Amino acid sequence: MDVRNSWRRRKTVLAATILTAAVAALGILASGASAARHANITLTIDVFGDFGYHDLYKQYEKSHPGITIKEDTEDYAPHHTGLVQHLATGAGADDVVAIEVGYIAQFAAQPQNFVDLRDYGAKSVKSRYPAWKYDQAVAPNGSVIGLGTDVGSLGICYRTDLFAKAGLPTDPATLGKMWSTWSKFLAVGKTFQKKMGSKSKFIDSGSNLYNAIIGQANPAYYSKSGEVIAATNPKVKQAWNLTMKAISLGEDKGLTAFAADWNAGFKKGTFATVTCPAWMMGYIQGQAPNTKGKWNIAPVPGGGGSWGGSFLAVTKQSSHPQEAADLVKFLTSPASELYVFKHTGNLPSELPVLKSKAVQDFKNPFFSNAPVGAIFAGSAMKLKPQILGPHQGDFQTAASNAIQRVEQHKQSPAKSWQQFLKDVANAG
């Protein structure tokens, strides 16, 4: 008995020791290996979604020996909330951070937390940007907190095979004319639905539709003087009503954008159109490689529009502001923006790049060789920016939730709208 006990005990201790040692060794090996690689400086960059930078990092590390770049990526909302938190607590922010247009006003209002990029040559690149894009990242005190990466100019991505089945034209130009307004777009959807029944829906998700429509409104949530006018602005209500109409007509699949089932939907063709900011192209290619050649891109109803677009900033918490700023300049250089556009789809924000032959002539085989460069660049150069405010991003989330409540039959449109207004009022 005693012998067995002590053996068991020894086995216990032995096992615990071996295990802890194994786990520790594993980690030390791994961390040791990576420590050997970066001798000098590690730059951290925090983005959301996919910025398409991985190859560029490698390129940069090669041309700048001693620098290692580590990217961290998160989902849209947690990324920005986390950034607010890290800036406020004075700890945890990366050297370089990406900021989306919905949040840029909020961060531009706290220039004390960011390196003023004017000290690192921002002025010399100013002329490359459309004035509005550059100005969005300028703080009230004149300091430049970020440089533009992409703009989210809109198109409509659609499945030509499903359109053909529904007896609709499949040519982008014809479609563009057919749906010159959003009401006409929904009318096309009605025809589509009549043929296809419930097997395939015309639209993936109500909130994507809404985002596209609201993206064309100016002003939308904020007035020129910075007041929140979500409740009184007829354009917001109009975007809402159109979305509700799409739902009531049964054209909406009602998926949650960016969730697992939405991804599955791309592969299975459970919906025929997606409102498509340029960056969505990369997403579709990554999600549903099996649908290559079945997609095409047509102009968006309502003429031009924008959803998304981002900036890169350097935080004051960075201990290598010079190197970080250099990296930002590299990543936002025309060559880098072009590279990202070709490989991921994010549309450059710099005028020379947008006008360049490389962009204008760019065709994407995945999207039936549509002249995506010309379509998106054309719409981007016509873009009129929206007036932004600090809680833009929060309102966007609240609206998505409100639309889902209707899609999932949890609330009537009227009730859900009321709750949306309440959320908007509480966001401050």
- Which of the residues 370 through 399 are near other proteins (CB under 8 A)? 391, 393-394, 397
CA distances from 194 to 54, 172, 198, 252 (A): 44, 21, 9, 13
CA Rg, the chain, in Å?
Answer: 24
Regarding beta strands 295-299 and 347-348, do their DSSP bridges make them parallel or antiparallel, or are they unpaired? Answer: unpaired
Contacts of other proteins in 212-231 (CB under 8 A):
none
- Report the residue number, 72 or 171, with the smaller CB distance to other proteins: 72
Q: Counting contacts by CB under 8 A, is residue 10 touching other proteins?
A: no
Cβ 159 vs Cβ 292: under 8 Å? no
Quick one: tokens of 34? Answer: 């990576």
Write each residue from 299 to 328 as x if it is in contact with other proteins (CB under 8 A), else as -, in one continuous string.
Answer: ------------------------------
- Report the residue number, 72 or 227, with the smaller CB distance to other proteins: 72
The beta-strand segments (E) located in 321-415 are 347-348
CB of 76 to other proteins, least distance (A): 8
Write each residue from 83 to 122 as x if it is in contact with other proteins (CB under 8 A), else as -, in one continuous string.
Answer: -xxx-xxxxx-x-----------x----------------
Q: Counting contacts by CB under 8 A, is residue 173 touching other proteins?
A: no
| CA nearest to 313, candidates 59, 94, 24, 62 | 94
Place of tokens 């700048």: 64
Stretch that binds other proteins, among 334-342, 348-356, 375-383, 405-413 (CB under 8 A): 405-413
Binding residues with other proteins: total (CB under 8 A): 72
Indicate the SS3 state at residue 135. Answer: helix
Stretch that binds other proteins, among 22-30, 142-150, 163-171, 338-346 (CB under 8 A): 22-30
| CA nearest to 366, candidates 299, 287, 305, 300 | 287
Whole-number Å distance between alpha carbons of 260 and 150? 26
The beta-strand segments (E) located in 200-244 are 201-203
CB of 110 to other proteins, least distance (A): 9
- Report the residue number, 9 or 384, with the smaller CB distance to other proteins: 9
Query: How many C-alpha atoms does 144 have within 13 Å on its Cβ side?
Result: 20
Q: Counting contacts by CB under 8 A, is residue 401 touching other proteins?
A: yes
Contacts of other proteins in 26-85 (CB under 8 A):
26-31, 34, 44, 49-50, 54, 70-75, 77-78, 80-82, 84-85
CB of 33 to other proteins, least distance (A): 9
CB of 302 to other proteins, least distance (A): 25
**What phi and psi, each to the nearest 5 degrees, are found at residue 354?**
-60, -35
- Report the residue number, 175 or 388, with the smaller CB distance to other proteins: 388
Q: Counting contacts by CB under 8 A, is residue 335 touching other proteins?
A: no
CB of 308 to other proteins, least distance (A): 12
Quick one: tokens of 40? Answer: 């000098």
CB of 275 to other proteins, least distance (A): 15
- Residue in 286, 303, 363, 418 binding other proteins, rule: CB under 8 A: 286
- Listed in sequence order, the DSSP H helices in 249-333 are 260-268, 278-287, 321-331
Cβ 148 vs Cβ 137: under 8 Å? yes
Quick one: tokens of 129? Answer: 């940007």
The beta-strand segments (E) located in 25-79 are 41-48, 67-74
Contacts of other proteins in 234-263 (CB under 8 A):
256, 258-261, 263
Q: Counting contacts by CB under 8 A, is residue 200 touching other proteins?
A: no
Stretch that binds other proteins, among 112-120, 155-163, 266-274, 349-357 (CB under 8 A): 266-274
- Residue in 24, 164, 335, 425 binding other proteins, rule: CB under 8 A: 24
| CA nearest to 378, candidates 309, 307, 300, 311 | 300
The DSSP 8-state label assigned to residue 246 in this structure reads H
Whole-number Å distance between alpha carbons of 154 and 335? 22
Q: Counting contacts by CB under 8 A, is residue 19 touching other proteins?
A: yes
- Report the residue number, 278 or 383, with the smaller CB distance to other proteins: 278
Q: Counting contacts by CB under 8 A, is residue 264 touching other proteins?
A: yes
Q: Counting contacts by CB under 8 A, is residue 267 touching other proteins?
A: yes
- Report the residue number, 130 or 265, with the smaller CB distance to other proteins: 265
Indicate the SS3 state at residue 49. Answer: coil
